[in-house]
Structure 1
Amino acid sequence: MAKNRKIELTEPIYEMQEKETPKQYWFANEYFHFDGTIDEFLDYWYPEDNKGNILPAPQRAPSGEKNPFTKLPAKATMKNWSRFKQWYPRKKAYWADFIKDIQDGLKKDIGKFFKEDSKELIKSLKNDWKLDRKIDRAQTVKPHMKARGKSDLSKAHNMKLESLLTEAGMPKDIAKNDSKVTVDADVDAKVKQETTAEIKATKLKELQEKMKEMNYD
């Protein structure tokens, strides 16, 4: 009766257990990597012809590894192994850990990428300030073109800032409540100021032209 009890598993349960022989574990491990059910696994090792006669066992496992054992146990024996050595829950545990390892590796890679990307975003954000000052100092650029450039720069700056906050897991309204409002307000004020100056210059030029055409005789 003791032989027909399920063994008590110790972690990691997909490794060889105390009450498990090397031969039992070899077949268990093959099943862990087998894409199919227990019955399909047994059918692989104990193939039958159309009449139900047992054919010679394959020399290699489904994985392609050579079977190191000269004699297979009876089919019923291997089925008992699968049941009492708890192959199915151990297979699930194997793949759960396998997937977790992959996910943990991806998280590390993604975290490393975000860290590097954040540094580049910060550099780019700081560079926007330099570009803004260059636009202000540009003497040959017309005021309305300056205004457009500063507006486009402000939009790009805020998009990068939102990306940086997203990567940091911070709410976007932090930027909107402070820097975005300030930047947009500054841009709007400069646009209005420069546009007004441009209009005044145009009007003054028109007035000067008219004064030249006037005849005081």
Structure 2
Amino acid sequence: MQINSTSMFNSTMEHIMLVGIAIVIAIVIGVSVGIYLTTNDKLAETVLAAASILLTVPSLALFGIMIPFFSIIGQGIGFVPALTALVLYSQLPIIRNTYTGIKNVDPNVIDAANGLGMKKMQRLIKVELPNGLPVIMAGIRTAVVLNIGIGVIAAFIGAGGLGSLIVQGISRGDMYSIIAGAVLVSLLAIIADTVLLFIQKWLTPKGLA
């Protein structure tokens, strides 16, 4: 069966939009939570444990759990529940790596910053985040690749994306559609990881490169 190039392009754009929006929201939440947890180690253990448990929930089950909750506001299937599920799945690597990256900053660097009279916010922005950036970016890269793969399942609840090619291929017995969807997902993950690695190297202070 001939694959419609327009359909492939539209599905790819849907996938990029879904994953892209989810990652932006997840970064805002995850980095903020990770920064806050560096001030409360007991809470950090609880939050990281909860995020770890969440990541063990099968993706299809989590998408299914979203349906009754969002049905209350008339969004039981489609973009909104899929977006929420992907944001939740992204939290563990982003929160954990933000927390770890900041906590593992060299104490001597922190002491030097304090010696210069930096306040907490100044120290965070000028010292801790730049020094923890490689670890934080590694978590973001993991979350992006994870979401690109899990985003395929979103097609089962009507969110579109590249998963729709695979789902349609399975229902129609169209092997070409299945292979095209799988290859595009793999390429998207590789490209995204490569671009983020470049950004990570570009933003990382020269002394840490």
TM-score (norm 1): 0.25
Please identify which structure carries the higher helix content. Answer: 2
TM-score (norm 2): 0.25
- Which has the larger Rg? 1
